[in-house]
Structure 1
Amino acid sequence: MDVTALPEECIATIISFTSPRDACRDALVSRMFGSAAGSDLVWNRFLPSDYQQIISESVSSVSSSSSSLNNLSKKDLYFHLCDNPILIGNGNRSFAIDKLSGKKCYMLGARELSIIWGDTPQYWDWTPSAEMPVSPQSRFSEVAQLLDVCWLDIQGRIETNILSPNTRYGAYFVYTLMEVGEEEEYYYTGLDHPVKVSIRFENENEGNATNAYLIPDTPEEYDGRHPHMRDDMWMEIEIGEFFTDQVHGMVEMCLMEIENGNWKSGLVVHGIELRPK
């Protein structure tokens, strides 16, 4: 059977059961396939089913308001949400879409995390993003800057029912280190020792903790997880992974260093990001 003989709407319906990557490839077959693959019928299926509700909860966006987002075609909206996370709720969370799969991505900003002694001015400073003394730009209004603590304990929580179902997610701690001085020398202390990262579902036994290193030039032969530079110039360390199935629950993510007892400073916390693996 010659598929090109089918009505364009039938071709679009068929493509909508594939994937965003396949749709982009199909668009190269012919002019009719290009029109079908770019239709709202196709890309509305690739968008999360509750995307309209999420957009309605947005408080701001990197480049667009919620009203202007609704004026985009479904394909343009899809790719806009891939590249431009929107702030939702009280502005301490962001939402985006994974470009290859269309799965949901969330980031919990520093204010959305539980940081031990985080509201004690002598230990932590909440710095407006526009006044950050470091180069990466935050999508949130403020970041947490570590001044001096001996007990580092940062935790985040998220309900799995807002994530994409039947998906393996990775949780990543996103941060940078202080830079000061004319030559932009690193200014941090006490962060050479490994931290412990762990992830678990609420009410489960304590998750298995893994060593992780915050300093980017830590030798690779050191056993544990090492940081990677992101495209947005922040660094990230994987905390762990989990799978979303039909049983909903709270996922708890933790980064901790409480055993060494040394004083630490110079860490800037952006947040914890959750995205499909």
Structure 2
Amino acid sequence: MIYAKRIEIEHADKPENWTWSSIHEAQNGKAIDIATLKEVYWMNIKGNFLTSKLTPETKYEVVFVVKLEEDAIGWHKPVNLTLTLTMRDKTTIQQKQTCLLDTYVGDEEWVDIKAGEFVAPPKEAPARISFAMFQHDDTVRKTGLVVKGVAFRALD
């Protein structure tokens, strides 16, 4: 898991837009920082990761791990998700999809919002994975999204 502090959340440094707090992971008791959206009109979350840390020839899914608070608003319009695999030879494979988050408003549990899937290349030819979740409709005020991070999960 790449936790929220290690991904790029636009305006996360502005307390009028996002707040930061810590939670403790149930599995290991480790404290992690989460980001809670106070208010934005233009939401952009992105990051990247090298596949050299993954098991070669294994299929993975990439998911944003989030919650939506009970009073969250602005999620009736779809968010966009992209996953781009840039190979060593600079060829790229890109996946794009949309997702409505309003169905998750008020859920107590963390939910996985899938950005896409890929097969990890050989260790000697690592690739860069770029991921993004965004909603650029600046006519819609958005609040209440809680971001834990982005997880890479083996599917095989």
TM-score normalised to structure 1 length: 0.48
**1:255 correspondence with 2:124:** no
Q: Which residue identity does 1:212 align to in structure 2? A: C
For 2:149, the equivalent position in structure 1 comes to 271
For 1:193, the equivalent position in structure 2 comes to 77
TM-score normalised to structure 2 length: 0.83
Secondary structure at the aligned position of 2:40 is classed as coil
Counterparts of 2:47 and 2:66, CA distance in 1: 14
For 2:119, the equivalent position in structure 1 comes to 243
For 2:21, the equivalent position in structure 1 comes to 127
- Which blocks of at least 5 consecutive residues in structure 2 are unaligned? none
Alignment of 1:100-119 (within 5 A): 107-119=1-13
**1:212 correspondence with 2:99:** yes
- Following superposition, the deviation at residue 147 of structure 1 comes to 0.5
Q: Deviations over 1:33-52 (max 9, x none)?
A: xxxxxxxxxxxxxxxxxxxx
- Following superposition, the deviation at residue 171 of structure 1 comes to 0.3
Q: Which residue identity does 1:274 align to in structure 2? A: F
Counterparts of 1:214 and 1:204, CA distance in 2: 32
Contact map agreement 2:17 2:37 (CA 8 A) in 1: yes
Q: Which residue identity does 2:144 align to in structure 1? A: G
Q: Deviations over 1:81-103 (max 9, x none)?
A: xxxxxxxxxxxxxxxxxxxxxxx
Q: Kindly, what percent of the aligned residue pairs are identical?
A: 26
Counterparts of 2:143 and 2:22, CA distance in 1: 18
Contact map agreement 2:43 2:135 (CA 8 A) in 1: yes
Q: 1:251 to 1:204 in 2, by over 3 A?
A: same
Q: 1:205 to 1:243 in 2, by over 3 A?
A: closer
Counterparts of 1:190 and 1:166, CA distance in 2: 39
For 1:172, the equivalent position in structure 2 comes to 63
Q: Which residue identity does 2:36 align to in structure 1? A: Q
Q: Compare the two structures and name the one with the higher helix fraction.
A: 1
Superposed CA RMSD: 2.3
Q: 1:206 to 1:120 in 2, by over 3 A?
A: farther
Counting matched residue pairs gives 145
Q: Which residue identity does 1:187 align to in structure 2? A: D
Q: Higher Cα Rg: structure 1 or 2?
A: 1
Q: Which residue identity does 2:12 align to in structure 1? A: G
Contact map agreement 1:174 1:270 (CA 8 A) in 2: yes
- Following superposition, the deviation at residue 112 of structure 1 comes to 1.0
Q: Compare the two structures and name the one with the higher strand fraction.
A: 2
